[in-house]
Every structure is written in structure tokens, then in C-alpha cells.
């Protein structure tokens, strides 16, 4: 078997292009998947035109100064703003595809907002133009703009609530405020009640005015009691639903760390499966199989050699990739033995799947094609999250995923890297069972291999 | 039908092979002497390759036995069983090691000289012609110094000139005492190169003897039949 192993390594060394493709393409695919998973969508380019005069971006709201630019700033966090000078330029940017959308804040927006706060006039309207040539991005832009405008509305309503609350406080406790440059003092219900009670007390016991004053005092008391609750009511309107987050089932893994586990597992899968299936199929394609198994090497020995070769080579590639990723992502190197355990078990299971594919396909090209056609859907199925599809379908996906090594290998890698659930022994045992199962399938496939 | 020779290097007794309900080979017996050239021929599906693969130890028989009183048997499959990414020398060295040949280096050198591939020893096999590949294929079969060499249709993919060189090479081997047993569809080649002919039909051995004996059996000279026509007439008379 040693000589066969050396022969295979020699063949790989003589095929640098094939080896480069075999290593690079899975690594690139894996990195792209990991990158896509760990990063949100790109910030879309959005043309932005603010027609509000610069000296009108701040205004007084119930004694508080509100800066409208802070709300546009929130929108800018989610987009790549392209500042334009005219409405026509904004629309042209969208038409030409230079921007996916345009947001135009009309020049009367601040005035309308101010008037609205004073209970007069109509609500200001912000214009949004979309470019729907890329449905995915258009949808993203639309939802981003909607969501950020909702944020801005919420923030403004918060200001409104505070202003309303301060007016109510004024009615309740009294005080002063400015209107058109004049200082106005308000008595307030509490002080009015106190005055009325004092006046009532000074009246003779049988004075008919006492009854009228009592009614006014009762009203003031009722108004004081109820307006005292109004702050809580207004706060509830401002934020009607509060969210309390609770994580159920499984330890929380940062998306970035999970993406590393996915990248390494995808890379490990492709390199191992392609190498094992190709190297076994090559024995038949080169017509060497009958010559080898007539006493030179046993069939099980031949399978073990291919599994070992593919597992070691792919394990080295995956570890190198992990070490490379470790330069950019914070990984716990103290867990290195667990990484190696997960990589080893995953590589063996993938290699067993590979030799089963190689045994069934019997030709290198057919084996490679079958390996890719089988591996990709299995990987994607294993990544379907719970709740993303109907319950029955998810059960089917779970069963299918359990029959192939990708999901347990990913679980093992995630457990080794991030101490996630399920704990490492569970996927390791699963991988061991799959290694034996696919090894047995490969041995059966060799019956029709010669 | 059984044929025996005095000092056999290969001995086959009542050999049978069954796939499910179908017998691919039934009660085949013969012996081959050292240096003898034996051609196994017959129509498609007659059991030629099945017989050779059983003799080579690639698959077991359902019944009967194969004896190798002369020593090891070498095997040369129909398509060259060599690694195209390795050189001629590397292929020979690999199989010599797998065959556990005691002195790998000298065995390789001897084979390079015997096959005339010495000047191309360092070349990748993928770049060799079909004839050179076949010579290497045979050389690998000879590495362990077998008493008998089994070849499955060795000349089927070669051009006439390459075929000629192949049979010269095989003739030299036979003269050196190696028993040569090969399967072929080419009855004229069998007539020209074989000392003895084994004709299989539907898994049974229907003729064992020299090409001349087969011609005589059908009266080829009286009927002015060439060897191929005589062979067809023989099979027809046998009901095949």
C-alpha cells in the first residue's frame, strides 16, 4: 500500500494544474460562501437631494431644538449616498443606473414639519425614486429606505411625545413658555386647585358659591389624577411593543465564526470527495485495477489507501485555510486538538463518500461530475435553517442531510471552533458511522469495477 | 475435451464459471507445456476472457481447479494497465515492488532491455505509442518471471507493424521457455502464431489441437477453404 500511496502522490505532483484547480476552486468557493454569509448586502448607491435650506434644518419644537440632518444621517448608515444638486439630476442618476434609488427631501419639509407640530398644515412628504432593473437590489433599497424612514418617523414621534408631555406637564404643574417672542405664564391645574380650595375655605359654610367651587375643584382633581398618567400612555404610543430577546436551543455563535466553520467544511468536502473519487476511478481508467487486485493489493487495502490519501491531503489544505483565516478572524488556538479531531473525522467521512462515488462512477470525469452534483446540493440542504421551509419538508431535509457527511462535519467543525451545540462527540460518532457506511458501499461498488 | 502435456506449466481441470443461472464456462480442461504458444479463440461471448481472468486469479471459478506447477502466472490485460503520468521505468519499478520482486532495480533494467524500451525509460507513458505501451504492459506481466504469461487480446489495438513486432517479442519469450496463452478473435493470427488452438463456444471447449488439425477436421484442403473459412465451418458443424 505504501508504494501505491507514493505512486498517487507522484501522479498528483505530475498534475500541477489539476492539483491547483482541485485546491483553489473549493477554497475560493468556500471563502465566497463564508464571505457572503458573514457580510450583509452591499450598501446600495442612492442619490440624495436635500432641498431644505441649510439654515432651516433645525427648528424649535416645544422649547427643544430638533436637527433634521440627524435623521438623514440614519439613512446614510445603510446606503452609499450620492449627493446631487437638482431633482432632475437625482432622477437621471436612477434612470442611468448610476444609483439604484433617489431620495428627495422637498424644500418645504421643515416648514411642514414645524406646522404639523403646531397642529396645522399637512405632513411633509419625502420623494423616493427606484430603479427596478435588479430586482434583488431594488427590493433591498426599497426595504432599506422604508425602514430608515420608519426609524426617522419613530424618532420624530418620540420628539412629539416629549413635546406633548411637556405641554401636559405645563397644564398640570404650570410654568412658562415662549410664544412669538413673548413669555407666557400658565397657572397649572395643581395650583388652580390649590387656589380654588383656598377661596372655597374662605367662603361662609352656607354660601351657594361653595358648591360651584367644589365642582371646579373636583374637576381639577380628576384632571390632575388622569393627566398624571398621560406620560406613561404617551410613552407607550411612542414605543408600543418592547422586545425582549431570548435564545432558545444551542449556544450563540457569532456569524463570522460560523462562516469560518462553513468555509472550512465546504473546502474540506470538495477537496476530499473530488480527490478520493478521482483517484479511485483513475485506477479503473488506467486499467490497473484488475492487475492490482490479482494478489498485489486487496480491495479493502486499495480503498483504505485512497481514503487515507484524500483525507490527509484535504486535511492539510483545510488546516492551512483555517490557519490563513485565523490571521483575520479571532480563533481560539487553544482548541487546536479539537480542530484536528473534527478535520480528521470529517475528512475520513468525505473520503469514504468519495471512494463510493468513484466506485460507482468508474470514470474520472464521471466521478468528478457526480461528486460535484452530489456535494453541492447536500451542502446547501444542510444549511437550510429550521423554520425556513415547511415543517414536513424540513424533516425530509434533516433526514437527507443526516445521510451525508456535510452536516455532521459542519457541526463537528463548529463545535471544535466555537464550542457550539451539539457537543463534538455527537457529530464525531455520526461521521464515524458514515465513514463505515460509505466504505461498505464503495467495497460493494468494486464488485463491478474491473 | 481434455488435452494433456507431459510437463505442464499450467494445468486446468474441469473449470466452470456460473453467473446467476447462466454458465459462462463449463467443464474446461487443458494443460500447457513450457514454451508452448496456446491461442484461445471462439465467437463473442464464448467465455475466452472469463477463462483467462480465472487463470490469472482475478476471479474465482465456480467449480474446477487451476494448477500452476511451473510457478507464477503473469497477466497482461487487453488494454495497457499502466499509469500514464509515470515514466516507463517508474511503472516497472512500482509493479516490481508490488510483486515483491527481490531485486527491483535489476528486474527493471532487464525488462527495459528485453522490451527494447531502454531508450524511452524516462518518458511519461502517456506519450508512448500504442505498441510501446503494449510492450510495457507485457513487460509488467513478466516482472515476476512467470512460468506462463496470459494475454487478453494483446494485438487488438495495434497496427500491422506493431503487431508484427509484438509477435516477434512473444516468440522470443516462448523460445525462452515461457508458456504463452492468449485470447484472440483474429483466427489468422492464431493460425500463424499458435502451436495449439483452444476453441471455446458457449462456454465449452469444442476443439483443442493445432491449426492444421482444425483444418483437417473440416476437410479444408478438399473444400479449398482458407483457415478463417475452415474455422467458421468447424463452428457451424459444431452447431454454433
CA distance B201 to chain A (A): 24
C-alpha–C-alpha distance, residues A237 and A230, integer Å: 11
What pLDDT, on a 0 to 100 scale, did the predictor assign at position A265?
Answer: 93
What's this model's pTM, rounded to 2 decimal places?
0.69
Of the residues A4, A12, A14, A446, the best mutation for testing chain B's interface (the one with the most B CB atoms within 10 Å of its CB) is A14
Q: Among A4, A10, A288, whose Cβ lies nearest the Cβ of B81? A: A288
Cβ contacts of A111 within 8 Å, gap of 6 or more: A56, A121
Of the ranges A68-72, A92-96, A358-362, A373-377, which one carries the lowest mean pLDDT score? A68-72
CA distance B193 to chain A (A): 25
How close are the terminal C-alpha atoms of chain B, in Å?
A: 17
What are the residues of chain A with a beta carbon less than 8 Å away from any beta carbon of chain B?
Answer: 3-4, 7, 10-11, 14-15, 286-297, 450
Local structure of residue A446 (DSSP, 8 states): G
Which of B225, B233, B171, B168 is CA-nearest to residue B199? B233
In the predicted structure, residue A249 carries a pLDDT above the cut 60: no
CB contacts of B127 in chain A (<8 Å) are none
CB contacts of B94 in chain A (<8 Å) are 3, 7
- Cβ–Cβ below 8 Å for A3 and B94: yes
CB contacts of A285 in chain B (<8 Å) are none
What pLDDT, on a 0 to 100 scale, did the predictor assign at position B70?
Answer: 67
User: Band of the pLDDT at A60, cuts 50, 70, 90?
Assistant: low
C-alpha–C-alpha distance, residues B58 and A288, integer Å: 12
- Cβ–Cβ below 8 Å for A294 and B86: no
User: Band of the pLDDT at A429, cuts 50, 70, 90?
Assistant: very high
CB A265 within 8 A of CB A346: yes
What pLDDT, on a 0 to 100 scale, did the predictor assign at position B20?
Answer: 87
Please state the separation of Cα A342 from the chain's center in Å: 26
What pLDDT, on a 0 to 100 scale, did the predictor assign at position A8?
Answer: 87
Strand partners of residue A186: A175
CA distance A273 to chain B (A): 21
What pLDDT, on a 0 to 100 scale, did the predictor assign at position A162?
Answer: 77
Local structure of residue A242 (DSSP, 8 states): -
What pLDDT, on a 0 to 100 scale, did the predictor assign at position A257?
Answer: 77
C-alpha–C-alpha distance, residues A47 and B182, integer Å: 82
Q: Among B58, B81, B98, whose Cβ lies nearest the Cβ of A287? A: B81
Query: Torsion over CA of B109, B114, B118 and B122, rounded to 10 degrees?
Result: -70
User: Band of the pLDDT at A96, cuts 50, 70, 90?
Assistant: confident
CB contacts of B148 in chain A (<8 Å) are none
Residues of chain A with CATH 3.40.1710.10: 45-147
Cβ contacts of B3 within 8 Å, gap of 6 or more: B29, B30, B31, B196, B208, B209
What pLDDT, on a 0 to 100 scale, did the predictor assign at position A343?
Answer: 96
Query: Torsion over CA of A126, A131, A134 and A136, rounded to 10 degrees?
Result: 10
DSSP string, B173-207: HHHTT-EEEEEES-HHHHHHH-SEEEEEETTEEEE
Q: How many helices (H) and strands (E) does chain B have?
A: 8, 9
B196 vs A325: which has the higher pLDDT? B196
- Cβ–Cβ below 8 Å for B82 and A292: no
- Cβ–Cβ below 8 Å for B75 and A286: no
CB contacts of A3 in chain B (<8 Å) are 94, 97-98
Domain A45-147: CATH class, spelled out: alpha beta
CB B227 within 8 A of CB B215: yes
- Which tens digit of pLDDT belongs to each residue from A22-58? 777 777 777 776 666 655 556 677 888 888 787 777 7
The predicted model gives A203-215 an average pLDDT of 82
- Cβ–Cβ below 8 Å for A297 and B98: yes
Question: What domains sit in chain B, N to C, each tagged with a CATH number?
Answer: 1-71+147-163+175-240 (3.40.50.300), 79-146 (no CATH)
- Which tens digit of pLDDT belongs to each residue from A433-442? 999 999 999 9
Per-residue CA distances from B191 to A134, A273, B231 (Å) = 75, 50, 10
- Cβ–Cβ below 8 Å for A10 and B86: yes
**Furthest CA-CA distance within chain B:** 56
In the predicted structure, residue A326 carries a pLDDT above the cut 70: yes
- Which tens digit of pLDDT belongs to each residue from A292-324? 888 889 999 999 999 999 999 999 999 988 888
What pLDDT, on a 0 to 100 scale, did the predictor assign at position A236?
Answer: 56
> Whole-number mean pLDDT of chain A?
81
SS3 track for A359-404: HHHCCHHHHHHHHHHHHHHHHHHHCCCCCCCCHHHHHHHHHHHHCC
What pLDDT, on a 0 to 100 scale, did the predictor assign at position A253?
Answer: 60
Q: Which residues 91-150 of B are in CB contact (within 8 Å) with A?
A: 94-95, 97-99, 124, 140
In the predicted structure, residue A398 carries a pLDDT above the cut 60: yes
Q: What is the CA radius of gyration of chain A?
A: 36
User: Band of the pLDDT at A145, cuts 50, 70, 90?
Assistant: confident
Of the ranges A94-98, A189-193, A279-283, which one carries the lowest mean pLDDT score? A94-98
Low-confidence ranges of chain B (pLDDT < 70): 1-6, 70
C-alpha–C-alpha distance, residues B169 and B115, integer Å: 8
ipTM rounded to 2 decimals? 0.80
Amino acid at each position: 500500500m505504501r508504494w501505491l500511496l507514493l505512486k498517487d502522490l507522484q501522479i498528483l505532483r505530475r498534475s500541477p494544474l489539476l492539483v491547483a484547480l482541485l485546491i483553489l476552486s473549493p477554497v475560493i468557493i468556500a471563502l465566497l460562501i463564508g464571505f457572503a454569509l458573514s457580510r450583509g448586502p452591499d450598501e446600495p448607491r442612492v442619490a440624495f437631494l436635500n432641498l431644505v435650506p441649510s439654515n432651516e434644518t433645525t427648528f424649535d419644537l416645544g422649547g427643544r431644538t430638533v436637527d433634521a440632518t440627524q435623521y438623514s444621517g440614519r439613512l446614510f448608515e445603510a446606503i452609499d449616498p450620492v449627493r446631487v444638486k437638482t431633482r432632475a439630476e437625482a432622477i437621471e442618476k436612477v434612470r442611468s443606473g448610476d444609483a439604484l434609488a433617489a431620495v428627495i427631501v422637498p424644500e418645504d419639509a421643515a416648514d411642514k414639519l414645524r406646522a404639523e407640530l403646531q397642529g396645522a398644515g399637512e405632513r411633509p412628504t419625502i420623494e423616493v425614486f427606484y430603479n427596478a432593473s435588479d430586482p434583488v437590489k431594488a427590493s433591498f433599497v426599497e426595504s432599506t429606505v422604508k425602514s430608515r424612514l420608519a426609524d426617522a418617523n419613530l424618532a420624530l414621534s418620540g420628539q412629539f411625545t416629549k413635546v406633548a408631555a411637556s405641554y401636559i406637564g405645563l397644564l398640570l404643574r404650570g410654568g412658562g413658555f415662549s410664544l412669538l417672542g413673548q413669555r407666557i405664564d400658565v397657572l397649572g391645574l395643581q395650583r388652580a386647585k390649590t387656589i380654588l380650595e383656598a377661596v372655597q375655605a374662605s367662603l361662609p359654610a352656607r354660601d351657594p358659591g361653595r358648591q360651584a367651587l367644589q365642582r371646579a375643584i373636583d374637576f381639577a382633581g380628576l384632571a390632575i389624577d388622569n393627566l398624571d398618567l398621560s406620560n406613561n400612555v404617551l410613552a407607550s404610543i411612542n414605543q408600543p411593543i418592547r422586545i425582549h430577546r431570548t435564545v432558545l436551543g444551542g449556544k450563540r455563535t457569532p456569524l463570522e465564526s460560523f462562516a469560518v466553520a462553513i468555509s472550512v467544511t465546504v473546502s474540506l468536502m470538495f477537496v476530499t470527495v473530488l480527490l478520493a473519487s478521482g483517484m479511485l476511478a483513475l485506477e479503473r481508467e488506467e486499467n490497473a485495477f484488475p492487475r492490482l487486485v490479482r494478489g498485489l493489493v486487496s480491495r479493502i487495502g486499495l480503498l483504505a489507501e485512497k481514503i487515507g490519501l484524500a483525507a490527509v491531503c484535504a486535511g492539510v489544505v483545510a488546516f492551512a485555510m483555517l490557519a490563513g483565516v485565523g490571521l483575520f478572524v479571532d480563533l481560539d488556538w487553544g482548541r487546536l486538538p479539537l480542530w484536528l479531531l473534527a478535520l480528521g473525522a470529517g475528512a475520513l467521512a468525505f473520503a469514504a463518500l468519495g471512494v463510493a462515488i468513484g466506485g460507482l462512477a468508474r470514470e474520472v470525469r464521471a466521478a468528478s461530475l457526480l461528486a460535484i452534483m452530489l456535494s453541492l446540493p447536500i451542502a446547501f440542504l444542510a444549511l437550510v435553517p429550521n423554520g425556513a421551509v415547511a415543517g414536513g419538508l424540513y424533516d425530509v431535509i434533516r433526514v437527507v442531510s443526516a445521510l451525508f457527511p456535510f452536516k455532521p462535519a459542519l457541526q463537528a467543525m463548529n463545535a471544535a471552533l466555537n464550542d457550539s451545540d451539539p457537543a463534538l462527540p455527537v457529530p464525531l460518532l455520526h461521521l464515524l458511522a458514515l465513514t463505515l457506511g460509505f466504505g461498505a458501499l464503495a467495497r460493494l461498488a468494486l464488485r463491478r469495477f474491473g | 475435451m481434455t488435452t494433456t502435456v507431459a510437463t505442464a506449466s499450467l494445468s486446468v481441470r474441469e473449470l466452470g464459471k456460473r453467473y446467476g443461472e447462466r454458465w459462462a464456462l463449463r467443464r474446461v480442461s487443458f494443460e500447457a507445456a513450457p514454451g508452448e504458444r496456446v491461442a484461445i479463440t471462439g465467437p463473442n461471448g464464448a467465455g475466452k476472457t472469463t477463462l483467462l481472468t480465472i487463470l490469472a486469479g482475478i476471479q474465482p471459478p465456480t467449480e474446477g481447479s487451476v494448477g500452476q506447477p511451473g510457478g507464477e502466472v503473469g497477466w497482461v490485460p487487453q488494454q495497457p494497465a499502466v499509469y500514464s503520468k509515470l515514466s516507463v521505468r517508474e511503472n516497472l519499478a512500482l509493479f516490481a515492488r508490488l510483486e515483491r520482486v527481490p531485486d527491483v532495480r535489476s528486474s527493471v533494467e532487464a525488462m527495459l532491455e528485453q522490451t527494447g524500451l531502454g531508450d524511452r525509460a524516462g518518458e511519461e507513458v502517456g506519450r508512448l505509442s500504442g505498441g510501446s505501451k503494449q510492450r510495457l504492459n507485457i513487460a509488467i506481466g513478466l516482472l515476476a518471471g512467470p512460468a506462463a504469461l496470459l494475454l487478453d487480446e494483446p494485438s487488438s489495438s495495434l497496427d500491422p507493424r506493431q503487431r508484427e513486432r509484438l509477435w516477434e517479442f512473444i516468440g522470443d519469450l516462448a523460445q525462452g521457455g515461457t508458456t504463452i496463452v492468449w485470447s484472440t478473435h483474429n483466427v489468422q493470427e492464431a493460425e500463424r502464431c499458435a502451436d495449439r488452438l483452444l476453441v471455446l463456444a458457449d462456454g465449452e471447449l469444442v476443439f483443442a489441437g493445432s491449426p492444421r488439425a482444425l483444418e483437417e477436421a473440416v476437410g479444408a484442403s478438399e473444400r479449398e477453404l482458407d483457415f478463417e473459412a475452415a474455422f467458421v465451418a468447424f463452428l457451424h458443424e459444431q452447431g454454433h
